Structure 1
Amino acid sequence: MENPWLKINHSDYENHMIEVGQSQILNSLKKYCLDKYQPKNFALLGCATGNGLEHVKSNVTNKVYAIDINQEYLNKTQEKFENQIINLELLKRDIQNEELAIKNIDLFFVGLVLEYVDPKKTLNKIIETIGKNGILFIVIQKNKQTTFVSKTKYKSLETLSDISNDVNENEIDSFICLKNMELIKKEEIELTKSKSFITLEYRKKE
């Protein structure tokens, strides 16, 4: 079966995320991470069309890896940011089946990706790329008696329900802490009465 992410138009995705208020929160979380950690090497998995990359400071961050399975999204990211981000590298990757082939990442941001993949298999690949004292920042969606994908007029996103799964943040935390990573901060951000974001912030031990 072809991955549904390959069939969703970038404008449908962007507008859906704005309508449900998730795009704005993810944007602010990326700004928080970039401002706090000032990474030399930054990786963004599931970059879509580059939401949040406007907060990259090229005089601080030497390399940005924007990673996604959908080439159309990557093309849009390049169009928007190639003149702003000096060393922007676009990587088309199916994280389930391909290696990332990058290393020494100072900040790795994973927002709403683990719900669509094998979380532990994917996290193994991500953690391998993180350098000494590097940061892993994860955003997980938590649902309370509701559908995973919020209903909007952008019907193409409803196909994601076929591959989405709830992710247990406690299981994820236990797994990551076995990988020489320490939890710095955990937070829950309420979106609606039935949905919230869980953020998990880790540092790689020396």
Structure 2
Amino acid sequence: MSDVRVGQVQRLRDITAEQLAAYPSRAIGVLGVAGGNGLDLINPESTDVVYGYDINADYLAACEARYRDGLGHRLHLVETSIDRSVTIERVDLLIANLIIEYVGAEEFAAFAAANAGSIGVLSCVIQRNDAAGFVSSTDYASSFDALASVSSDIDPETLDSVMSDAGFAVLGRCEYPLPNGKTLIRQDFRAT
């Protein structure tokens, strides 16, 4: 993801900065927090709490090691899958970047509906594979082959539709082309 031919990590960091700037929040949640890309952009002076959710305990440990000093007691990391059975803490902004491809649009919408009362704004990023497969072509591509079997392409219109059915209004959409022919698409929603 960080390979310059891909540019995904750098672009996701920029998008996270935009998400944080667009929706200043005292309470922030991050689904699929992984190692915490972008958490250093959160201002601890204007943020009371940050919840990071991920299925991978090793990612959460790395996130803890990287960001505990900067965020201190504000950082709360939770090991969990993302599905309709999960109850999250109340947040003003919930970021879900590149997670929906693994959860599926319908299950993600069911998760959002189940937590609608706890979500101010839901800002998510999906990946459209215009000219490339799910895994970008780099020297390390073969190590990610298994990801293609557990992910699915998410159509932005389908996501809008299932989120509408789940009781969320569309706030906006932005597209970010990547050097490898893929496009990251940010879609923002608010419970109605």
What's the % identity of the aligned pairs? Answer: 30
In 2, Cα distance between equivalents of 1:200 and 1:175: 13
Q: Identify which of 96, 102, 105 aligns with 1:116.
A: 102
Separation in 2 of the partners of 1:134 and 1:127? 12
Instruction: Give the Cα–Cα distance (whole angstroms) in 1 for the partners of residues 67 and 39 of structure 2.
Output: 8
2:71 is the counterpart of 1:85: yes
C-alpha spacing 1:57/1:161, structure 2 compared with 1 (3 Å) = same
Q: Distance in 2 between matches of 1:83 and 1:133?
A: 27
In structure 2, what is the Cα distance between the partners aligned to 1:88 and 1:133?
18
Corresponding position of 1:102? 88
Aligned-pair distance for 1:145? 4.3
Q: Is the 8 A contact 1:107 1:130 kept in 2?
A: no
What amino acid is aligned across from residue 158 of structure 1 in structure 2? Answer: D
- Determine the structure 2 residue equivalent to 1:18: 2
Partner of residue 200, structure 1 = 187
The yes-or-no answer on 1:53 pairing with 2:53 is no
Does the aligned pair in 1 maintain the 2:91–2:120 contact within 8 Å? yes
2:131–2:181 Cα contact (<8 Å) kept: yes
CA distance in 1, matches of 2:77, 2:39: 12
Equivalence for 1:125: 111
SS of 1:182 mapped into structure 2: strand
For residues 56-106 of structure 1, the C-alpha deviation after alignment (integer angstroms, 9 at most, x for no partner) is: 11222211111111111110000000111131111111224x733223221
In structure 2, do the counterparts of structure 1 residues 174 and 90 end up closer, same or farther at CA, with 3 Å as the change threshold?
A: same
Q: Aligned residue for 1:156? A: 143
Counterpart-to-counterpart distance in 1, 2:46 and 2:86? 23
TM-score, length basis structure 1: 0.84
Quick check: 1:103–1:128 contact (8 Å CA) kept in 2?
no
Can you give the 5+ residue segments of structure 2 that lack an aligned partner in the other structure? none
Residue type of the alignment partner of 1:184: L
Shift of residue 183 of structure 1? 1.2
The two structures have a TM-score, normalised by structure 2, of: 0.89
Q: In the aligned structure 2, how far is the partner of 1:130 from the partner of 1:31?
A: 24
Q: Is the 8 A contact 1:103 1:130 kept in 2?
A: no
Secondary structure of residue in 2 paired with 1:140: strand
The amino acid of 1:91's aligned partner reads: V
**CA distance in structure 1 between the partners assigned to 2:115 and 2:50 by the alignment:** 13
2-side partners of 1:152 and 1:204: how far apart?
Answer: 39
In structure 1, what is the Cα distance between the partners aligned to 2:154 and 2:39? 26
In structure 2, the partner of 1:30 is 16
Q: 2: distance between equivalents of 1:81 and 1:89?
A: 11
